[in-house]
Structure 1
């Protein structure tokens, strides 16, 4: 026969059954809190939705830059990175001269100045043009122009059209066909020259032979819709013999040549 527990023993058993496991619950809560905190700090940052794409190694010329762009940085700004592309710098009504562009100038016969890198081929071309037995030797009548000079020429052209009865806006549009807006003229980079001679035949000779010396007939009449400039038989631009030869053979202006070159890259 089992012994009958006394009253004190019964009370101790009841107390054991009623005691709540607070220590275990506190431990569980602490572990959960630590997990939540850790997930908040490190969780989900490498998921495809939250990660940034920085790989730009497979872009083509027409691809959009992937990633974050600094909106404060200038867009569409031309730069001449090295000595391999200076001769192909595009300056026209849409492309301004790069900021702080300063050519190294040298004087040519007649007092005009040009970029020193085109001096030798320019002199060779003018010397070769003497074979035409012109009454007057061809010479550079306009080379490098300062911003002030270009502004003066542009303003004078606008004023002339204003005297003809055109409005200010009409005069400006007409003037742009003959004189580039200051900051958008090839003359301001020292790579372009206006050449004059005694007869018009000089220009036929230049159109057929200038490429041999690295120069192009910059503004043909049939390219006005591309260049934005009316025909100027006197205006020649240095681009280098290789580029000039290709443009001559294909009948391209500088804008077309550069577009074709970019498409091939």
Structure 2
């Protein structure tokens, strides 16, 4: 079982790199094994698969959070419409950020069980840039064939889509895969108390909106952390939207 520091992204002892892949990508060793088997099976079917983002530590997640809260990165509605941060209250900013980015300390990417996957071939020559948006995974998009393959086969390798559809919390993320056998125990052990202790220890200047976040923490956990789509059986068609 992961330690409190590992659950909240404050330790990297549980993750490792994989030979032949970027040393910026880290996952738990068991997850690497399952991913490499899945990638080989996809390759045998003519599908290319790569990881855009894997483990992210607390500080990396905090940097993303602060930039969005402070207007240095854009905010979007659940429909992908760009929002004007000047027109949002602090509470509305927090909701907008949580729709697309996890709270520092609560990201599934902290656990080394989750990663974002894409087809690298359409982006290999630099003529287009991967954005990790739903259109890239829908019919006609550069990652549609990969997405279709994963719908049929990901569960056979122990993976599921925690954000398969929008449920009023996190937006649909057809690129986000999670290794169920290790991710589910991590989710069960990530308590409100642990999150409160982790965030309360951070200086107010280091986490934008900290006071309001702590006030809303039970609601945030219920709506944006616990509210995931359950895994389905192998071969089940998943709807994103």
**CA pair 237-116 structure 1, distance change in 2 beyond 3 A:** same
Give the drift of 1:152: 1.4
Tell whether the 8 Å contact from 1:143 to 1:193 is kept in structure 2 after alignment: yes
CA contact (8 A) 1:140 1:193 kept: yes
Q: 1:110 deviation in Å?
A: 2.9
Which digits, 9 at most, give the CA deviation of each residue in 1:65-96, with x for residues without a partner?
xxxxxxxxxxxxxxx4xxxxx7xx9xxxxxx9
Check whether the contact 1:146–1:188 (CA below 8 A) recurs between aligned residues: yes
Q: Which runs of 4+ in 1 moved over 4 A?
A: 98-103
Counterpart in 1 of 2:162?
Answer: 218
Q: 1:193 — aligned with what?
A: 115
Bigger radius of gyration: 1
1:127 offset after TM fit, Å? Answer: 1.6
Map of 1:76-91 to 2, 5 A cutoff?
80=1
Q: Does 1:131 align with 2:41?
A: no
When residues 99 and 110 of structure 1 are mapped into structure 2, their CA distance, relative to the original with a 3 A threshold, is closer
Give, in whole Å, the separation in 1 of the partners of 2:67 and 2:10.
26
After superposition, the C-alpha distances for 1:142-200 in whole angstroms (9 at most, x for unaligned) are 11111011111222333223755432332221110110000111100111011111422
Counterpart pick for 1:235 among 159, 176, 184: 176
Q: Does 1:179 align with 2:101?
A: yes
Matched with 2:147 is 203
CA–CA distance in 1 between the matches of 2:177 and 2:156?
Answer: 13
* SS of alignment partner, residue 236 of structure 1: strand
SS of residue paired to 1:140: strand
Q: 1:121, CA displacement in angstroms? A: 0.6
1:99 deviates by: 9.3
SS at match of 2:87: coil
- Check 1:194–1:99 CA distance in 2 against 1; reply closer, same or farther (3 A cut): closer
Alignment of 1:8-87 (within 5 A): 80=1
Match of 2:7 in 1: 97
| Unmatched runs of 5 consecutive residues or more in structure 1 | 1-79, 81-85, 90-95, 254-265
CA RMSD of superposed structures (Å): 3.2
Aligned residues between the structures: 152
- TM-score of the two chains, using structure 1 as the length reference: 0.50
- 2:65 is the alignment partner of 1:154: yes
